[in-house]
Amino acid sequence: MKRFAAGVVLGFILSCGLGLAAQSLDHNGTFWNNLGSSAKQGYVDGYSDAMNVSIGKLDNLMIAADLFRWKGAKKIIRQLSRELATSDQRPEELVKRLNELYADRKYSELDLGSAVQLLTMRTQAPEAQSPTGSSNQAPSTR
């Protein structure tokens, strides 16, 4: 019994030591700025693919929400779908905008996923606020 307990303690200590010694995978501005241009393009392409798969999974959630009569689910799921969508931006444009964002030091600790969502929301905001063809100007009098 003592050997078993000693083995458990030793395993716990070794796993904690390996966990602390493992390389950190913070995907933030520092990580982004260390990538080459092709790696940045690949990262954005992979991220976009992952988000498209996630959006596809939201359809299953919508079905479950209808099945269980979850009130407000459609509104929440539509909002989540808009936040995950990156299809509004071309990958080259997204790489350029991420480079511009991370050039500012105050964003260097911002996670890449959050940065992409921020840029996506900034892209969608002008579209939501754009006039729908009506003019807000008063007619001129002559």
The pLDDT value given to residue 19 = 61
> pTM of the prediction?
0.61
Domain locations in the chain as residue ranges: 27-122
Average pLDDT over all residues of the chain: 76
Angle at which helices 112-129 and 91-103 pack, to 10 degrees? Answer: 110
| Residue reference for tokens 């929440």 | 76
Single-letter residue type at 104: D
Q: Which 8-state DSSP code applies to residue 24?
A: P
The pLDDT value given to residue 131 = 46
**Per mean pLDDT, which range of 106-115, 121-130, 131-140 is the poorest?**
131-140
Q: 1-43: per-residue pLDDT in tens? A: 778 777 777 677 767 666 665 555 687 888 888 899 899 999 8
pLDDT band at 141 (very low <50, low <70, confident <90, very high): very low
Q: 38-59: per-residue pLDDT in tens? A: 999 998 888 888 888 888 888 8
The pLDDT value given to residue 96 = 92
Task: Decide if 93 contacts 80 (C-beta within 8 A).
Answer: no
Report residue 67 as tokens: 């099945």
Q: What is the dihedral of CA 91, 97, 100, 102, to 10 degrees?
A: -80
